[in-house]
Structure formats: C-alpha cells, structure tokens
Structure 1
Amino acid sequence: MSDFSSISALLNQSGASYRIFDMGRRISKLTSDQFEKLEQGLIPYPSPYLHHAWLALMLWNPKQTDQNVVWFLKFPLDEQGFLVQAVRDDFLNRLLQNISQMLNQTSLDDSNDALKDNPFSFTPDQEKMAMFHSMANKLTNAGASHFYSGAKAYLGGEMGWKNWSGVGYQGVADLVTRLDEDNNSAYLINAIPHLPTEPLVALCTCLEHASPNHRIATALQRRLESAISDAHASSLIAALLRGLSNIHNDVMVKEAIETVLTSTHAGNAEILTAIATRCHTSLQHPDLLSLYLEKLAVSEAGQAGFSRILADLMFIPVMRILILQAFRNPQRSDALTTAVGNMFGKQFAGSV
C-alpha cells in the first residue's frame, strides 16, 4: 500500500476521475485546487456549517462511468475554520486500513466498504441525497431517474395540481438539475403560481442547490408576497426563501428577506434559521444584518436559538466580523443587548 500523506494524493493516484462537493449549507462544487489548499491548511473552509466541513467525494471509472463510489465525509474545523490536520490523518489511516483488508479478501460483499466503521462518514438527509444523486448522474452523463418523466408531466400541468402524491421527489430533483434542458425552466415558471404547498416546498428545497433564472425567481417572489398575508404559511415562507437563496440577483433576495422580517412572520424560528443557513451572504448587508439580529433577539427561538444560530453564523469569518460590528451599533435595542449578554456574558455585552 502506497504512503499517502493527504486525501488529495490518494485521489490523484487512484486513476479515477473525481469531483468534490460541499454538502453543508447547500450542494456546491469545490475545485481540486481548493481542496488541496484546504488540506494543507492554506485557506479556511469556504462555507462551514455547524462548525464542520461536510463533503462528498465522488470517484468513477472514466471508461465506465456507471462504476462509481461516493464518500460522504464530515470533518470538524478549528476555531478559525481550518481543517484539523490530525483528524484528516486519522481518517486516512482508517481508510487505508480498510482498503488493505478489502484487498486481502477472497470475496467482497457490501459489508466490505472502504468507510466501514469510519466515524467521519455521514448520510445526507433524503432531500439533499436526491439532489446530489441527480447532479452526480448529470456529471457522468448517466441520465435522469425513471421519476423524471412523471415530474415533468406533473409540473407541466398534465396531471392536475392536486395529484402530487404519485410524483417522486427524485423526479423533481432531476428536473431542477436540468433547468437548461427540455424546456424545464418554462415548466417551472408556469407551474409555480399553481402549486399546492407540499410540492412547492419540495421544489424550493431543490432550487436552493441550483441557480434559478430571473423568471423563476420572480414567480417565487410573487408566491412569497402572497404567502406573507397567510398567518399559517411560515413553513412555506421559509421554503420560498430557500428557493430564492441562490439566485444571481442579490438585490431581489435582500428585498425578499426584508419583506419577511418586517411582517408578522418575522419571529418564526424556521424562517430565521432558513435565512441564517441559506441566505447568509445577503446578511453581509449591515442594515439587513441589524434588522435580522433584532428580530432574532425577540423571536420564538428564544435565547437558546439566538445563541445556536449566531454561533453557526459567526464561524464564517466575514460574518463574525460583521456581527461584532452590529453588536457595537449604539442604536441596538435593549433586547438585543440582553441576548448578546446572555450568550457571551454581560461583560462582553457592555464592551461592544
């Protein structure tokens, strides 16, 4: 067995084609150069989530793309957001031991997984797994799942908007992954105004991993404006913000968040969590961040939610700086001052 000093070295010498994805806040690609720098401790992890790096390493045979394997890995990060080298080394040692044992077996079965008993592996939730599966299939030209045609028929209005139960979530993910194919964007633009809550939420949880065009974003924005008047629509509003979170028009996202934070839904914990975990780049606007912090301080999430959400946000270096600046705002409310004091201590609250 060769002596591999890094995951990058192992991947580069495997002979397989590979891609690396961030699986934290949303599914996004990491370049091999980025990953090598992360491993070397030259750059912090770009989008930490819950103080960890959440990764998918996909390897496949370039001559037989159906022969592929995916490793889902979760690594803790240090206080500055860098990969912990000792953890990476521990993972590599465990991986190489398993591979060595597998090579010595006369027969292999599913239990002989390279990540068997590895504490750094994880399983993505069902929604994220469906979207990753679609992206992986497109990457290897494997084609969409058999659910794709049903999702197209439903979103094309052919089945009736109430007949959602027979549509596979995987089909929606396949369609969203292929917005640039088969007139799929037009299907969504026409469908969004009519979709019941459940399929619209499912669609939005897929769209957060894509880059919807302006017309799709406008359709989502109109549904958001309509939902705000419904006192029972907080979960839908949270989903719509997630669906809008990765569009290219930052002004539209910012305006959507402002609209929600100045509505009766502003204190809803699910909405505030969606903004923090999916729309954190919009919170880099100081005025929007201040509004968000004020609403979070008095929200139904309570002190525990305030502390947990901010601890996650402040692990992103740029957000930490901006949040500390917002704490120093002399116009901050007494409620925000109290929440900050309860999180960091009254001495800290008095010093900012």
Structure 2
Amino acid sequence: MQINTLSEFLTQAGTEFRLYDLGRRLQPLASADFLAIEAHQRPYPWPLQRHAWLAVCYWQSHTVNQPYIWFLKLPLDERGLLNNGAIKYFLASLVEQLGQELSAPLTQEQQQKLAQTPFTFAPSQEKLAAFHARLGLTLKTPPSPYYQGALNYLVNPSQQDWQQLGLQGLAEVAARLHQEPALSQQLVAQWPHLAAAVQTALCQQCEHQPLPRAVEELFMNEISHQLERQEIDDERLSLLLRACAANPTSPQRQQKIATLLKVAPSQALILCLVARLWQDLTDEMLLLSYLNQLAQHHGDIFNSVFNELVTTPALRPLILSNLHHPQLSVAAQRALGQLFSSSS
C-alpha cells in the first residue's frame, strides 16, 4: 500500500484529526493549510531550527475520548518546504505496524516502535500541558483532576498550598481564560496575591493560549511596573511579554517592545522576540531596532538569531528588502557582512 502524505493516511484511515504546531509555541494548523504545505504550494509557516514540530491528533468517531497523538519533527529544505521523504519514512513504519488495516488501534508496543523513528520528539512538560489543555477544549472532554485545585487556589490563594497544584490544572485555566470572563476577572483580581512560582507557570501557559483583553493588559501593566523598578528583572520582563504571544500584534504591544529594546535590550528579550513574538517584528522600524540591538549587545548570538528570523516566512521578505537600510547601525551592517561572507 503506497501512502505518500500524512493527510492521505489520515483520510484513508477514516479518521477525524487536528494538527498543531509545537515549535515556538502551540498553534493550531488548519487541515487545508497543511494540504498546501504537503503539496509544496507554500513554506511551513513556523519553522524552528529548520524543522516543523507537529502534533498530530486523530481518532475514530467512537474513540474521541482516546485519540492517538504523534509528535513529529520533520525537516524543511532551504526554502522552508516540507521534506516529504521524512513523512514517507514515518508512514512506511506506520503501515508496517498496521498492515492493511489503517484504522486498527495501535498497541503499546507499536506506539513505542513508532516513537523510535528519527522523526519523533518529546515536547517539554510546559508545551505538553498546554497542548492537552487546548485539545481537551477542542474535543469537549472533561478537564483533568488538577483543574479544580487550580480554581480553588485562584479563589483564595492565601488558604491554599500552591505546591500541591498540578501544571495541567494551570494549563487548563490558561486555556479557558478567553472564553470564561469570570475566570479571567478572578485571575486579574488575585494576581498580586499569587505565589511567584504560580505566576511564572501561568505566564508560561498563557503564551500558548489566546487571552482576553483584561489579562493581556494585566501583563502589559506588570511590564510597566517592572521598568519603574530600580533594578530591572530581565527574565521577568521576558516572561510577561511572552505571556501575550498568542494574541494578535497591536500598536500597544509594539510600542512596549520598542521601549524594552531601548531600555532593557537583554538577551532574554532578544530570544523571547525571535522565539515567541516574531509577528511583532513585521513592523519595519521595530525590526531594524531589533537587528541594531542584537548586533550591538549580543553579537555572539547574531548569526543564529538572524538565521531563525530569515527562515520565518512572515519575516523573510521584509528582512531581505532591508539589508541595506540607512537606519541599520554600523554594528548591524558589520555583523551582516561577516555573516554573508562566511556563508559564501
């Protein structure tokens, strides 16, 4: 049996399926868009280290509560197009396990064999929790037992032991903020009273989920308060900014980023922007400021960061058209010159 694409396999198996990107942050990938990517009609939109990091979830109509999940790390070529050879290799391994019964359930042993192929990966615990929280909402399955504990903590944090909270419960809180106004209001009201470790975990989960305006404004205000401190905590600034990453870019956020690049151009901020908030760098002036600060303060990582930027389809045309922009600093021009001379 010859099957050449993931979509072909999932369709022939008679399954329903959902696709998510787990590279830079959790993002749903529409089936129609993936079809175009498989057909090489467009590059993969969110490459990381020249790979697509996919979560593939599929199920039969009678097994929606127990879907199968693959985490696939698929190489991309120099144009950002999917390496279909890698997919064919994985599918060949899959068909070898299933034979002609594509819709047959996989045993634990078969799942383990598939996990040993070179194109699978294990997501971080934070991304895995965010993924399961989003998937649970999509499939309308009940939240984990940890969810109620997280809710109880938000109601009265001083009376609850935060160390007993489960990461999955906090992920499920973050995933529900955009659709439950009372929950988001509770979070905003109690934020100053939450343990620092809980604030950190919630920020890390929020970066993967769309946020209501009130919660995004909470994080923006927290950034302003950090900038007013005598000693700026660069890691916390980055954490708060990343928490807003799943929301569409806005003039307010871009202005905040512009300020941060001038006042606190730390390595944490530089990496946060390339990894989580690259969409904000589609603003030309912000991109030029970013490249200038990258070259001036973090020259040791210039090449690796620039390579990630220029392989991002949303940024590549803008970057290439501004390589000789008069507002690029001498340091940025020199870094670019060295980069291109070493690769030629």
Superposed pair shares fold, TM > 0.5: yes
Q: Retained in 1: the 8 A contact 2:19–2:30?
A: yes
Higher relative contact order (CA 8 A, sep 6+): 2
Q: Retained in 1: the 8 A contact 2:279–2:314?
A: no
1:307 is matched with 303
Q: Retained in 2: the 8 A contact 1:45–1:83?
A: yes
SS of corresponding position for 1:183: helix
Name stretches of at least 5 consecutive residues in structure 1 with no aligned partner. Answer: none
Name stretches of at least 5 consecutive residues in structure 2 with no aligned partner. Answer: none
The separation in 2 between residues aligned to 1:232 and 1:54, in whole angstroms, is 34
Q: 1:3-33: per-residue Cα shift (whole Å, max 9, x none)? A: 3232111101212221111111221111221
Count of residues in correspondence between the two structures: 340
* Paired AA for residue 297 in structure 1: A
SS of corresponding position for 2:23: coil
Check if 1:245 corresponds to 2:268. no
Q: Retained in 1: the 8 A contact 2:207–2:244?
A: yes
Check if 1:289 corresponds to 2:292. no
CA positional deviation for 1:321: 2.2
Q: Retained in 2: the 8 A contact 1:293–1:336?
A: yes
Check if 1:80 corresponds to 2:79. yes
SS of corresponding position for 1:145: coil
The separation in 2 between residues aligned to 1:233 and 1:117, in whole angstroms, is 41
What is the TM-score with the length of structure 2 in the denominator?
A: 0.91
Q: Retained in 2: the 8 A contact 1:161–1:195?
A: no
Q: 1:193-214: per-residue Cα shift (whole Å, max 9, x none)? A: 4444322221121111111111
CA positional deviation for 1:109: 5.2
Check if 1:35 corresponds to 2:31. no
The separation in 2 between residues aligned to 1:347 and 1:130, in whole angstroms, is 39
SS of corresponding position for 1:73: strand
1:323 is matched with 319
Q: 1:70-127: per-residue Cα shift (whole Å, max 9, x none)? A: 0000111111111112222222222222333999xxx985222161421101111010
CA positional deviation for 1:258: 1.2
Structure 1 residues 150, 257: CA separation in 2 closer, same or farther (over 3 Å shift)?
same
Greater helix proportion: 2
* Paired AA for residue 312 in structure 1: E
Q: Percent identity?
A: 31
Structure 1 residues 108, 29: CA separation in 2 closer, same or farther (over 3 Å shift)?
closer
SS of corresponding position for 1:135: helix
The separation in 1 between residues aligned to 2:158 and 2:338, in whole angstroms, is 51
Check if 1:218 corresponds to 2:217. yes
The separation in 1 between residues aligned to 2:343 and 2:207, in whole angstroms, is 39
SS of corresponding position for 1:83: coil
| RMSD of aligned alpha carbons | 2.5
Structure 1 residues 137, 232: CA separation in 2 closer, same or farther (over 3 Å shift)?
same
1:6 is matched with 5
Structure 1 residues 108, 282: CA separation in 2 closer, same or farther (over 3 Å shift)?
closer
* Paired AA for residue 120 in structure 2: S
Structure 1 residues 138, 230: CA separation in 2 closer, same or farther (over 3 Å shift)?
farther
2:109 is matched with 111
* Paired AA for residue 72 in structure 1: F
What is the TM-score with the length of structure 1 in the denominator?
A: 0.89
CA positional deviation for 1:310: 0.9
Check if 1:255 corresponds to 2:251. no
Q: Retained in 2: the 8 A contact 1:289–1:326?
A: no
Q: Retained in 2: the 8 A contact 1:197–1:236?
A: no
